[in-house]
A and B are shown apart, each in its own frame.
Chain A
Amino acid sequence: MKGALCLIAAILLGGSIFFWAAAGASRGWTKTRIPVKTVDAVTGLEGIQWQEKFVPGVDFLGAAVLGAGVLAGLSLLVPRKSKPQRNETES
């Protein structure tokens, strides 16, 4: 149980950092839409079309670190699996 919690915490932390880095390592807040520039051929005006896209930001990273920390903390509360005691009289 203790090991499983530590493993989940490590996967959560590592996976979130990897996802955040792979998505562009945005140092701003998490975005759920991004602006895409379009140019009108006649007027030459640059317009903005909003495209739905999830871009994790530092708040996402913070939540992942917090979640991993909580799991790691919980693992400290779980007692270690006690080793079976040898019966000295048997030997």
Chain B
Amino acid sequence: MKTKLAILALIGVTGIAFAAPQTFDFKDPKGINNAGFKLDAPLEAINGNASGVSGTVTFDPENPGATRGKIAVATGSLMLPNPMQRQHMLSDKWLDAGKFPEISFESKEFKNVKTAGDTTTADATGTFTLKGVSKELTVPVKLTYLKDKLGDRVPNQKGDLLVIRASFTIKRGDFNIMPGQYEDKVSDTIEIALSVAGASPK
């Protein structure tokens, strides 16, 4: 009996020690994944969101600090309530969606990692690319690892979910989006809120 328990314990320990990082795919068939954006200028507030989220993140529940990956948003999926405003936003004068079809953040390093239960908070440093301009940013992120919850979201599929939430601000002028122009109507500061869930099927 003791030998059996020892073998089981050994299997458990080695299982933990060799737990491989999992890759989570953020292409969401349910269309919930989104990135919201807000520009609050003195004369006008602009609120919108983007749903064309994709990318992969490698996450190890035993070592959340080693998380790496890239989340991208299709520029053409940016939506505003006013169609003419949206047309302007995607035009070559502003985001130039035709030439720069993707907005992305690629994480390179996690700092200040704190894990409590299934939730990890950290400061993710990486490269944010918008309109072809790449800048290094440090973004506070919150990761929630939902083990064996994929089946609850996608029937007949087993696996885990990883939820990522991040809120940060950028300056459009830093990314060559009409720098210094129309700031009374289109704020230079853009607040971005990312809410995405990735799946790792087993």
List the interface of chain A (C-beta within 8 A of B).
Answer: 28-35, 38, 40-50, 55, 57
Query: Would A48 and B49 be within 8 Å (CB), given that A28-B44, A40-B30 are in contact?
Result: yes
- Give chain A residues whose Cβ lies under 8 Å from the Cβ of B153: 40, 42-43
A44 to B47, CA, bound (A): 21
Q: Which of B32, B33, B47 is the most central at the interface, judged by chain A CB atoms within 10 Å of its CB?
A: B32
Q: Which of B156-202 contact A (CB under 8 A)?
A: 161, 163, 195-197
A18 to B161, CA, bound (A): 49
- Give chain B residues whose Cβ lies under 8 Å from the Cβ of A40: 30, 32, 153, 197
A55 to B80, CA, bound (A): 13
Q: Number of contacts between A and B (CB, 8 Å)? A: 62
The answer to whether A34 touches B81 (Cβ under 8 A) is yes
Partner of A45, one of B49, B79, B81, B163: B163
The answer to whether A46 touches B195 (Cβ under 8 A) is yes
The answer to whether B82 touches A45 (Cβ under 8 A) is no
Contact sample, A vs B, 10 pairs, CB 8 Å cutoff: A29-B85, A31-B82, A35-B81, A38-B32, A40-B30, A42-B149, A42-B152, A43-B144, A47-B195, A57-B82
- Give chain A residues whose Cβ lies under 8 Å from the Cβ of B146: 42-43
Min CB distance B98 to A, Å, is: 22
In the A-B complex, the 6 residue pairs with the smallest Cβ-Cβ separation, listed nearest first, are A47-B32, A31-B81, A43-B197, A42-B153, A40-B32, A42-B152
- Give chain B residues whose Cβ lies under 8 Å from the Cβ of A35: 47, 49, 81
- Give chain A residues whose Cβ lies under 8 Å from the Cβ of B195: 45-47
A35 to B49, CA, bound (A): 9
Partner of A42, one of B81, B82, B84, B161: B161
Query: Would A33 and B149 be within 8 Å (CB), given that A45-B163, A46-B195 are in contact?
Result: no
A45 to B144, CA, bound (A): 11
